[in-house]
Amino acid sequence: MFCCYSALFAQTASLQRSHFDMNVGIGRRAYINSHEGVKKGMASINYVQKINNVFYLKTGFDAMYWDVTYDATTGKGYLLTSTSYEHFAYAWFLGGEIVMNKVVFQGGMSKYLYFKHLPQYDVNYFSKIGFKYLITPRLNVGFFLKAHSYEADYMDFGIGIKL
């Protein structure tokens, strides 16, 4: 029964092998109690290991960018757990993908390698969940939610390419 289900939803538009991929996305996060916000971006490069035609394991490197950093004298840039003193942060990602024809669902956790954040928050990791649509076997567009523990950070819209 499962093999028939797998064959039915096998990835007809995706690469049928393990591969590397690169993705970039941009999103916006509002300041606390404000209509103003900060633009946030993420770029990633990953190795994607094929388990079968539906399931893939994924690991790689994420780089995040904030266009505004936190200024302690004015309080500008305060974003709760995602408040950053610097424009960049870096993390290692581990997760998986479920492929159903041209739609790929992805989820996983990232451990920060570098993130200069407020000391009152113990921020060592974040989760990413979302989906991407395969325009071609190598090109996709996606929508992802990044969250720190209980707090949604931002949603990003992006584009990716399989190498």
In this structure, which CATH number among 2.40.160.20, 3.40.50.720, 1.20.58.220, 3.40.50.450 belongs to the domain 2-162? 2.40.160.20
* Residue pair 56/71 in contact by the 8 Å Cβ criterion: no
For the chain, give every domain's residue range: 2-162
Per-residue confidence in pLDDT tens, the chain, 163 aa: 444 444 434 444 445 689 999 999 998 877 766 677 788 899 999 999 999 989 999 999 999 998 888 888 877 777 777 778 888 999 999 999 999 999 999 999 999 999 888 777 888 899 999 999 999 989 999 999 998 877 888 888 999 999 8
- pTM, two decimals, is 0.80
